[in-house]
Amino acid sequence: MLNNSPKLPPGDILKEAAKFLDRDFNQCFQQMRHYDSQGVDLCKFAFTAYSAVVGLAFALFRYGVAEKIDYTLPAAVTLCVGLAFGLCFFAMMVRNRVYFVVVARYVNEHRGFFLKSRPLGFENHSKMFTNFEQPPFFHWRSSQAFLFYVMSALNGFLAGAALHFLAFANSPDWRVTISSGGLVFFAQVLLAARYLSSREAKSSSKAVFAAE
């Protein structure tokens, strides 16, 4: 198959390549900010949704007590539905971290490529990020990791509350409900950490799509 595309002079090719890298760097930086803000937006939405779910569940239960009707099962089902959505939100946040890290490393590679030639004598004394192997996919002190903890805690609360309505509404056993909520919290965090850590030492395609 013949390639009939016009050929540019070598100097123009270099100019176009520089323009492409410049545009790519700027677009990736915007994309990175977008991924970073998505976690906060998900948490804001989750707070609103969880408040509505918990309010509805307790309203059903209190109405049942007042009317002497057993509404513990509908209350528990409401919380379980909220928990199902919460787990989806959590999975989205974890997956979003993968996208963020892939783009952030690409941005670091761009910066490192240009700064290694010390343009205009620039030394980068502040040691701005140039390592294309950073940031790690999971870092327990990162801001996104703290959002994981918040979402995991909310899901753990819903799980504990659902168990309370299902099994202990009439004779509360707070040790069991709190322990079950804590177990759900730690299970989410450990699974997220394991999944994100498994993305290390892989190309961007394998980290995101599990294939080249």
How does pLDDT run across 66-112, given as a tens digit for each residue? 888 888 889 999 999 999 999 999 999 999 999 999 999 999 999 99
pLDDT over 80 at 7, yes or no:
no
| pLDDT > 90 fraction of the chain, expressed in percent and rounded | 62
Q: What is the DSSP string of the chain?
A: ----SPPPPHHHHHHHHHHHHHHHHHHHHHHHHHHHHHHHHHHHHHHHHHHHHHHHHHHHHHHHHHHT---HHHHHHHHHHHHHHHHHHHHHHHHHHHHHHHHHHHHHHHHHHHHTT-GGG---TT-----TT-S-S--TTSHHHHHHHHHHHHHHHHHHHHHHHHHSSSS--HHHHHHHHHHHHHHHHHHHHHHHHTTTTS-HHHHHHS--
pLDDT at residue 9, rounded to an integer: 63
Q: What is the mean pLDDT of residues 31-42?
A: 91
How does pLDDT run across 102-159, given as a tens digit for each residue? 999 999 999 999 899 888 888 899 999 999 999 999 999 999 999 999 999 999 999 9
Burial of 27 per CB tally in 10 Å (0-12, 13-18, 19+): exposed
How does pLDDT run across 58-77, given as a tens digit for each residue? 899 888 888 888 888 899 99
pLDDT over 70 at 10, yes or no:
no
